[in-house]
Amino acid sequence: MEGTPQTHEFKTEVRQVLNLIINSLYSNQEIFLRELISNASDAIDKVRFQSQTDPDILNGDSDFKIKIRPDGIARTLEISDNGIGMTHDEVMENIGTIAKSGTAGFLEMLEQAKSADVLTPELIGQFGVGFYSAFMVAEKITLVTRAAGATPDQAVRWESSGDGTFTVAPAHRDQRGTTITLALKKGDKDDPDYTDQWSIRRIVKQHSDFVAYPIVMDVEKEVPIPDNEQIKDKEGKPIGETTRRVVEEETLNAMKAIWTQPKDTVDDKTHEEFYKHLAHDWNPPLARLHLKFEGATEYDALLYIPSQAPFDLFQPERRHGIQLYCKRVFIMEDCKALMPEYLRFVKGVVDAPDLNLNVSREILQQDRLVINIRNNLVNKLLELLGKMTTEDYEKFYEQFGAVIKEGIYSDSNKRTKLAALARYKTTRSDGAWVGLDDYIKRMQPDQKAIYYITGDDMNALINSPHLEKLKEKSYEVLLMVDPVDEWVMQVLTEYDGKPFKSAEKGDLELEDAADETDKEAYNALFGFIKGQLAAKIKEVKASARLKDSVACLSGDNYDMSAYMEKLLKAAGQKPPEVQRVLELNMAHPVMAKIKTLYENDRDNPALNDYCHMLYDLAVVAEGGKLENPARFSRMVGDVLTRAIP
């Protein structure tokens, strides 16, 4: 029984999404049908999975299908399914709001794309707002849904014209599932007619051919009238109609589980279309793995590596991309047990026929079969990445390199393999990526360590004073600008027998370190400087790092780096108090002058300013933040005044 509608307002972010979708001209509006079909398929997946442990939930209705009904006269398009359906509360949660994260990111990217006139449909599926894409072609959307287990009179009607409000009312629906009716806009003459059966066939074939359930449409066909029903003359010749038009249900999609087919029989175009359906990504995949494991453990796997990183790659609520099946029965999406976090960008399907259909997510993580599958898949994926062409791997690494390096930190069993996949810009690579194997091949004959430096700015790193002596000796230095590098270097202590050494920590063990006699000559001055800066530093010493600069800050081998300290502060954490070492370049002319001034007039107040200025110069050189920039500016001004005739 229909009830009185109640009007509600969309939340602000939904109104923004609707406004952008409705008023933005996409290069391919027809993806709305793909999204609605995908939602219907998901709903059937859910009720089919629940029926494995609760057969009564189907109530005798196990003929799963998605039905499309176009009406050219009324200008409507209807998509219905007999899936899980929704309750009133679920309608309010799933359609009245955008429950998924990333709304702000979606709006930002959509606005940027619109201003650049490069709007593309992959944004719709990627951000989980597929239902709203129907407003690109519909002036009004009506949804009637009945949840599994509910009575016909417990159905719910949702309706909106995309104007900022929607209505919800009790409704009647004889069958479990959902029906969405689009009152279509009057399109331009060049737009597809979404009530035309040929257009619908083409769109379904192109975008939804791999949906696991029949997508059907009633079509009129002309069929022969049986001979015994025809009107004939005395000679037995037909004198009336010999054919008649009947309505038949036509299946529009192939429903091919291509992961079960021999890989040699599936072409690139088929893979590309299946990937788009699976990942809601309009870009073709960069690479794929089509595997069939046989023996004690049997399963099929079809995995894809995207060509572009998803917007939520680093968001905690992100969804993994692996769907789990058992004998083509959908078990779950977002199967984190099958793929480690550092491969969360991989999309695909795993079909394991020996899996227990009643398995829960908790049990799944401990299941021996699943652990075995996961280990095999990770090995195969790392092998695939290692065999990519240089061009393809650089494309991949630009998108996913930081995530791969997460695995170096988190997966001790695969650490060496993952480290071999890491790439870095270096002081000698002229902007090109360099792997650790190539770095070692290029090491100088007398070089004993792999040198690196971390920070957040490539230009600042390559010009860091910490690298001056290393550059002079033609030692290549890895420039690490990903935040994850700081954590990686805590566990990656060596590679191929070569130790890692930070250019800003510990003794660099360079052969031409400062002469001990010169050091002793500066001991008194260094003691004075340390006294003036006692609250900021723990030691003053002659530098083996510097060649042109006068000062830099360094740490002991196990001290926290300046970049790590910066990262922790940015994350709202208070790092432990660690004083660093002020290193001074004894070959720099200014040090000789300060030494002379100290020895001849140690009560001169300018000496205190010079001590602080040396420290501030070291902070500025590494891109740090000055404690008292006004004082530094004043001191520089005084120095310039005295220096200029």
Rounded to whole angstroms, the Cα distance separating 532 from 540 reads 11
Query: Is 39 assigned a ligand-binding role in the annotation?
Result: yes
Query: Is 129 assigned a ligand-binding role in the annotation?
Result: yes
Rounded to whole angstroms, the Cα distance separating 394 from 325 reads 33
3-state secondary structure of 284: coil
Rounded to whole angstroms, the Cα distance separating 282 from 122 reads 5
| Residue in 636, 545, 625 with CA at minimum distance from that of residue 583 | 545
Rounded to whole angstroms, the Cα distance separating 106 from 127 reads 6
Rounded to whole angstroms, the Cα distance separating 624 from 466 reads 14
Query: Is 386 assigned a ligand-binding role in the annotation?
Result: no
Query: Is 178 assigned a ligand-binding role in the annotation?
Result: yes
Q: Which residues contact 407 (CB under 8 A, 6 or more apart)?
A: 340, 341, 342, 343, 414, 415, 418
Query: Is 497 assigned a ligand-binding role in the annotation?
Result: no
Query: Is 102 assigned a ligand-binding role in the annotation?
Result: yes
Q: Which residue carries 């990333």 as its tokens?
A: 102
Q: Are 300 and 261 in contact (CB under 8 A)?
A: no
Query: Is 127 assigned a ligand-binding role in the annotation?
Result: yes
DSSP 34-81: HHHHHHHHHHHHHHHHHTTT-GGGGTT-----EEEEEETTTTEEEEEE
Query: Is 86 assigned a ligand-binding role in the annotation?
Result: yes
Q: Which two tokens stand for residue 114?
A: 């619109």
3-state secondary structure of 274: helix
Query: Is 87 assigned a ligand-binding role in the annotation?
Result: no
Query: Is 181 assigned a ligand-binding role in the annotation?
Result: no
Q: Are 543 and 587 in contact (CB under 8 A)?
A: no
For Cα atoms 61, 62, 67, give the angle at the middle one, nearest 5 degrees: 85
Query: Is 490 assigned a ligand-binding role in the annotation?
Result: no
Query: Is 591 assigned a ligand-binding role in the annotation?
Result: no
Query: Is 131 assigned a ligand-binding role in the annotation?
Result: yes
Detail the residues annotated as belonging to a binding site. 35, 39, 81, 86, 94, 100-102, 126-131, 178, 361
Residues annotated within a binding site for ATP:
35, 39, 81, 86, 94, 100-102, 126-131, 178, 361
